Structure 1
Amino acid sequence: MTGRRSGRERTSATSEAAAGPDGGTALDRVKLLAARYRAAADRPYLASALYSLSIVPSTGVSTMGVDRHWRCYVSAAFVDATPVPELAGVWIHEVAHLLRDHHRRADRLPASAQGDRLRVNIAQDCEINDDLLADGLALPEGRVEPGTFGQPAGRLFEEYLPLLPPQATDVDCGSGAHGRPAPWEADGAGPAARLSPVEAEALRRHTAEGMRAHQRTRGDLPAGWRRWADQVLEPTVDWRRVLAGAVREAVAWAGGAVDYTYRRPSRRTSALNGVVLPSLRRPLPRVAIVIDTSASMGEDDLAAVLAEVTGVLREVGVRGNRVAVLACDADVQTVSRVTSTEQISLAGGGGTDLRVGIREALAGPERPGVVIVLTDGFTPWPEEPSSSRLIAVLVGTDPPAPPSWIETVRLG
């Protein structure tokens, strides 16, 4: 990825005149590229992203800015006036706008907020610069950071935006930041290379993976970048919605079988004198909840998760004596049919083998249609599926995955 982009950029370099655009100051490319090299060498996890930026000399931009297509507009006068260490910091600042997907995040703001693009830009600069300064990067004088406005560090730009004063400053990093084309972006209509949205997304993931590897080997990745990499590689999912969907689907699947009953005669009975026809019914299935109560599980966390599960079951319509709860470590400790979580005893604290609890749940006189297992995942699992639907609700950090045939919901 890096090599291909570098080659394209070298090809386009011959089209840039020694004199600057419109006869202005010539761009000192040697200095500019030296600053990018320094940024990439000091933060190698950003190298691919930095070398994917196409350089566009511009007389319209006052410093440096980026558009949505990963083109970096550069003022020759700014390059002349800025030392290489600070230029390296600006390179990282600009690529951070694109890596953090600021322009698409800005598109999701309310229309009233989108209209004030410069204020959005300042909020984004606050999100970026506190991380860069904490990482020891040099930035030019006049940069903004959360402390400029009396705000704490470590927040997202969406949080800073309503806290900023109107007309905070006139910094404009381009549509790659606030999402609205800047007047000077027309300079980029020429041969400068563009990055497609698909390429950009692949580059974000590649960069996040590089950050993960750097964190494992060096352990000095700034907190803001760690949070960003985690979000890219493990997007936040509303696990309650996923759990509710899984339970509803499982209950509908298990309750799909129909049977005949004479408790409610068929409506066709009245058409036949002396004949009573049965009606079809689709009963709600019974549900078993197997709770891992081994020593590795915390009671408070389990109680909170169990409350969520029973809440979902109530929404679906499964409650009361249709729900059995089994507390299990290496053996089944308690079995109860409950109407509220307060009635459940989470006994246990030994080793872990939840196959015992699953077997007992399925062996009861009233076989459940759905078995929900709450665990940290450190347990043996059944070797093959049964006729009942099995859902594993995994808690804790980095739980091991169950077999692929078990439907899995990760809490996070």
Structure 2
Amino acid sequence: MSSPNFKEIAERVRFARAYAAEQLPWFAPALFRSNIVITPQVEVASIDLHYNVYWNPVTVDQIWRDRDRRLALSELGFLWIHEISHRLRRHGERATALGISSGPRARRWNIACDFEINDSEWSGLKMPAAYPGMLPEGFGLPRGQLAETYLLQLEAGDYPDLSFAIDEGSGIHGLPRPWEAGDRQRLSTIEEEIIRREVARRSWEASQDLVPDAWRDWAADVLGSRVNWRQRLGHRLSVALQRGIGSRTDYSYARPSRRQSVYQPIMPPSLAGDQTARIAIVVDTSASMQATELQRALSEVAAVVRQFNHPVTIIPCDLVAYEPVREVSEREAFRISYLPGGSGTDMRAGIDAAVRLRPRPDSILVLTDGMTVYPQANYPVPVIFGILRQEGQETQLPPDPPFGPDRVVMI
């Protein structure tokens, strides 16, 4: 039998990805952000920490040849959802937190992670008959538990050698693999968080009878509060921006109105002046901001840019304000991986720096965990606080007045 053509194999994998996205559209942000790599070094399929998904060409060819097209797509589509589920559930990071650093324990962790995600049945997708996945009931274990619980049970139980488990890559156990070396896509932590939150949002908004309970619970955990705080934040920023833009625009006869034909023979004026929104975002980079909170803050920067379609200026701040990151576009917001800081917290320094920007911003958004000294007076520019909630921690809020409920949004 001739060796599979890698180009044809990659095309089949792309077809399967489109099929999976059609069947389960809430996974589309993760599916289409993944990079396809064809390599015989993996046993079936694997994924690394940056959404590079590796496919064995013989495996793909076998599934494609031995099934009718729709069944082949459903089986390859299942593998797609299986691999990206590992990243969405952050199995690699969770393995690192457990201190998993050896081959045998990494294999057991891989099995435990498969138990966690294989208990969902997806309409239109089918587990490959030639490569059946690991199920907890096959080991006498119940469904619906976390991988950490399954790992303890696998390590404590009287099970045979588990080294037969397929190695699915660093995306599951955090340990680099030889096939992951080379020119591969690398996503920033912000990009990965945006993918997770978008999949979670779409999962939560999808019909309840389509999304299994385990995934709805996951989405609720990722999204946190069900209050549409982003809509509230967007509304409050919009009001402030419109006031700022309005102060720089006026009606002028220098250019005829687009509706002149309606008012003929009267010549109405048109609105003229600078109508570009100016947004400054002060990001708390103090020591109290954990990595996850900082990632959330930066993902909100990207969301603000996307919502208002205007560049923003970011001011990192702990006890002092650092050099502004000016004119950040949506694409650039996704790629920010480092902001200076790590000391105490005083967001007043960042707000003062934002007010001194030239041209002056129309609105200042402060993204902080709330553990800061708050200003006691208003500013010449509307200041809105986005407070990042931390589980188990009492949140300190800005004083009211001068910052009432219309200027504070809990995130």
TM-score for both structures, normalised by structure 1: 0.49
TM-score for both structures, normalised by structure 2: 0.49
